[in-house]
Amino acid sequence: MGPGRTPACTPTPGGKRRHRVLNRLMHLYRKGQPITVHHGKPWKPGRLIQMRGHVASFDGELVRMTRRFQSPGRPYDGLFATQRRGDHGTIELPRGGWVARRRYLRQSGSLIGELYNIQTPVQLLPGEVRYVDLEIDVAYLPHRPERVQVQDVAEMEEAVARGHIPGEVAEVAREVAEELARRLGAWDGESVLEWDVRPEPARLTPAVEDFLQRHAVESRSSLT
């Protein structure tokens, strides 16, 4: 089990079948190639969010990408910090995961903070990654008195009120965020963190599954 994987997650294929799936996935990305993350908000059609970078590693289950920030002086959303020349970061995206990890670092390598996005299960596609953002996030802020914050709850509640996110989906997203916040609160900042939190299968009710299926990207292959 690799770093960040949660033992009691939704079951994944076992044995030979899992091996075959991973073999078919491995061609999706190669080290150094450009990659784009599509951060979907279909209820905000005028707001297209894409995060671009390069593949650092991919093991068939988790893709890790690097990126650089080019706007010194611009505030980082949710981090209580501004960009400086030389800032860079990583994004880690587990296949089928409800959480994506974004790390932000200074040129020296010192950690600015981490943002954990809560979203629909990550879909890995050739040269890109797609999911639908569920608005709520968890921030790890090592230099602030309140090191762990659950953020953007009001934005998620507004999306529920407007009918964009079903209440049952929001409840699951909130549970994922709260469990992740609990783990971050107990984290020493150095040891392996089990951050890939996923809902228990019993929480994936028909209403939740329907939302996930409606917002899933139709894969151009049979890999998933």
When mean pLDDT is compared across 11-20, 82-91, 176-185, the lowest value belongs to: 11-20
- Give the CA distances from residue 212 to residues 46, 132, 193, 204, 205, in Å, rounded to whole numbers and listed in that order: 22, 9, 27, 10, 11
**pLDDT above 80 (res 218):** no
Residue 129 lies in a domain: yes
Classify residue 152: in a domain, yes or no.
yes
For the stretch 6-41, pLDDT in tens is 433 344 445 666 666 667 788 899 999 999 999 999
**Does residue 166 sit within a domain?**
yes
Count each helix (H run) and each strand (E run) in the chain, helices first.
4, 11
Domain residues for 81?
Answer: 15-215
What does the chain come to in residues? 224
Average pLDDT over residues 58-68: 96
pLDDT band at 138 (very low <50, low <70, confident <90, very high): very high
The reply to whether 9 falls in a domain is: no
| Residue 18 vs residue 98, higher pLDDT | 98
Is residue 23 situated within a structural domain? yes
Residue 8: the pLDDT is: 37
**101: closest CA among 113, 87, 88, 110?**
113
Domain assignment of residue 7, yes or no:
no
Confidence (pLDDT) at 162? 96
Q: What is the CATH number of the domain that holds 210?
A: 2.40.380.10
Q: How many domains does the chain have?
A: 1
Residue 224 lies in a domain: no
Domain membership of residue 47 (yes or no) is: yes
